[in-house]
C-alpha cells in the first residue's frame, strides 16, 4: 500500500514515537521522523524503510522550532498528518518546582505542539485534508485528578486544552484529537510499565487514519473516547 500521504512525527527516534513511525510506514505513509539528534537518526530512518526520512527538530525553544518548521516545509511542502509525540517528564514536586523547570516542560509538551498544530493545520485547510494527533496523558486529565508530576500534569492539561480549542477553530476535513497511550515501556515510562511501545502507538496510528466522518476535538485511550 502507498497512500502518498506525508506524516510528520515529533520525537520519532525512540519509544512510542518510533513505534508510530514504523506503524505509519507499514500503512504506506511517507514518514518524516523528527528528532533532536539528526546524526544518529538518519541511519535509523533508513533501516525502517525507503519511505522514512529523518529531520532535525529541536522543540526546546521558539527559535529552534521556527527554524525546523521552515526547513521541513522547504523539503516537504505538504504535510497531511502531524503527530505531536515529543515530550519531557519533569518530576520535581510542586512545592519545589521552579518556574524555569515548569517553562521547560511547557516549551516541549505544550508550546511546541501549539506552534506546530497552528502552522500545519493552516496548511491543511488549504489542502482540504489533515489529521493532527497530540500524544497526551491521563495525568493531564482533570477527570483523573491531575495526579502526575506537577510540571507534566500542568503541561499535558495545557496540551489537552489546546487540542480542544484548535479543533474548534478549523472546519472541513481537519481532525485534531488527543490520546493517552497508557503506561508504556519507554525511557519515560520505565521497564516495569504494562504496555509495549507498539501497544502505546496503536491509538495514535488509528487517529492518524480517521475517516472524514470521525470526531474531532476529543480525547482517546484504546481507540475509545475518554473524559477530559
Whether 161 is covered by a domain: the verdict is yes
Q: Comparing C-alpha atoms, which of 106, 105, 84 is closest to residue 176?
A: 84
Whether 26 is covered by a domain: the verdict is yes
Q: Comparing C-alpha atoms, which of 178, 132, 185 is closest to residue 15?
A: 185
- How far is it, in rounded angstroms, from Cα 42 to Cα 227? 38
Catalytic annotation, pick one of 119, 129, 152, 170: 152
Instruction: Specify the number of domains making up the chain.
Output: 1
For the question of residue 170 being annotated catalytic, the response is no
For each successive 10 residues of the chain (228 residues), what is the average pLDDT? 83 93 96 92 92 94 95 96 95 97 96 97 96 96 92 98 98 96 64 75 96 96 94
Q: Residue 123, SS3?
A: helix
On the CB side of 213, CA atoms within 13 Å amount to 0
Nearest 5°: phi and psi at 115? Answer: -65, -45
Whether 64 is covered by a domain: the verdict is yes
Q: Comparing C-alpha atoms, which of 73, 79, 36, 32 is closest to residue 51?
A: 32
What is residue 1's predicted lDDT score, i.e. its pLDDT? 42
* Terminal-to-terminal C-alpha distance of the chain: 35
CATH of the domain at 183: 3.40.50.720
What is residue 193's predicted lDDT score, i.e. its pLDDT? 64
Question: Which residue range(s) make up the domain with 126?
Answer: 6-226
Whether 194 is covered by a domain: the verdict is yes
- Which run of H or E residues covers position 160? helix 150-169
Whether 1 is covered by a domain: the verdict is no
Amino acid at each position: 500500500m502507498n497512500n502518498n500521504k506525508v506524516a510528520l512525527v515529533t520525537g520519532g527516534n525512540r519509544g512510542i514515537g518510533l513505534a508510530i513511525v514504523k506503524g505509519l510506514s507499514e500503512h504506506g505513509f511517507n514518514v518524516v521522523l523528527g528528532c533532536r539528534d539528526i546524526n544518529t537518526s538518519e541511519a535509523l530512518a533508513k533501516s525502517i524503510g525507503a519511505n522514512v526520512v529523518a529531520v532535525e527538530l529541536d522543540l526546546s525553544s521558539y527559535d529552534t522550532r521556527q527554524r525546523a518548521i521552515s526547513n521541513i516545509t522547504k523539503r516537504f511542502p505538504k504535510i497531511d498528518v502531524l503527530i505531536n509525540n515529543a515530550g519531557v517528564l519533569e518530576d520535581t514536586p510542586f512545592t519545589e518546582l521552579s518556574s524555569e523547570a515548569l517553562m521547560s516542560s511547557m516549551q516541549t509538551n505544550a508550546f511546541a505542539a501549539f506552534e506546530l498544530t497552528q502552522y500545519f493545520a493552516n496548511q491543511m485547510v488549504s489542502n482540504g485534508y489533515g489529521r493532527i494527533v497530540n500524544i497526551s496523558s491521563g495525568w493531564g486529565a482533570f477527570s483523573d485528578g491531575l495526579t502526575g508530576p506537577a510540571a507534566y500534569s500542568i503541561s499535558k492539561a495545557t496540551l489537552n486544552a489546546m487540542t480542544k480549542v484548535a479543533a474548534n477553530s478549523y472546519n472541513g476535513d481537519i481532525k485534531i484529537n488527543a490520546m493517552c497511550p497508557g503506561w508504556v515501556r519507554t525511557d519515560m515510562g520505565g521497564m516495569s510499565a504494562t504496555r509495549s511501545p507498539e501497544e502505546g502507538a496503536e491509538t495514535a496510528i488509528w487517529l492518524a487514519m480517521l475517516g472524514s466522518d470521525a470526531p474531532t476535538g476529543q480525547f482517546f485511550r484504546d481507540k475509545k473516547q475518554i473524559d477530559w
